[in-house]
Amino acid sequence: MSSKAFPIDYPFVLPIMEQFYTLQGEGRYAGYPAYFVRLAGCDVGCVWCDVKESWTVSPEQWMSIDDIVNKILESPTKIVVITGGEPAMYDLNPLTALLKEKGLQIHLETSGAYPLKGKFDWITVSPKKFKSPLQEVVSQAHELKVVIFHQSDFLWAEKNAKMTNSSCVLLLQSEWSKKNKFYTSLIDYIKTHPQWSLSVQTHKYLDIP
């Protein structure tokens, strides 16, 4: 998204596709209650993306960070997950500063393709071949979650794992439509490469947002 598309009061407004309170379905915090803020706008272009409606931004989607946070505070959440789209396209410093004032734990889900602007307690990087991640971002990740869509994605996973820090959680996750094809090979791969763990999209099995 070009900076010319930003409203005059950006970054104190951000484009919201949706926000909702649910359980985290993936990764290290799977099963934890969390409030999701899904930002609109993405140029990564994953062919298998399950939220392609988040790629574009409409004028009516821009919302003040005060209104965003006030909606979050209507829930009893302790964890806020900022996702997208690609949330790192935006300057998240004002939003994360306000969330920190409210005592909330801030998680970010990003492809790693953009430098991070904001303060985060947990960073999940899910690198995509369509727009390669930045080493400076992958090195900050608390968890690296690689989606397996082709057999070649195992090599892609290992390439990105080399850029992580020593405490980063390494996760492999089948693309949802390929789960029946890849779960056996995922399990076998993890058994022979025990630095990796399996991430399952539990929210899809449970049919929750």
Domain extent for 127 = 3-206
pLDDT band at 49 (very low <50, low <70, confident <90, very high): confident
Does residue 3 have a pLDDT over 70? no
Q: Is the dihedral of CA 45, 49, 51, 52 positive or negative?
A: positive
pLDDT score at 84: 92
Contact criterion met (CB below 8 Å) for 102 and 119? no
pLDDT score at 45: 78
Q: What is the CATH number of the domain that holds 135?
A: 3.20.20.70
Domain count, the chain: 1
Does residue 65 have a pLDDT over 90? yes
3-state secondary structure of 194: coil
From residue 102, how far is each of 77, 79, 109, 115 by CA, in Å?
A: 11, 11, 20, 25
Distance between CA atoms of residues 42 and 70, nearest Å: 25
- The predicted model gives 163-168 an average pLDDT of 98
pLDDT score at 165: 98
Does residue 47 have a pLDDT over 80? no
pLDDT score at 206: 86
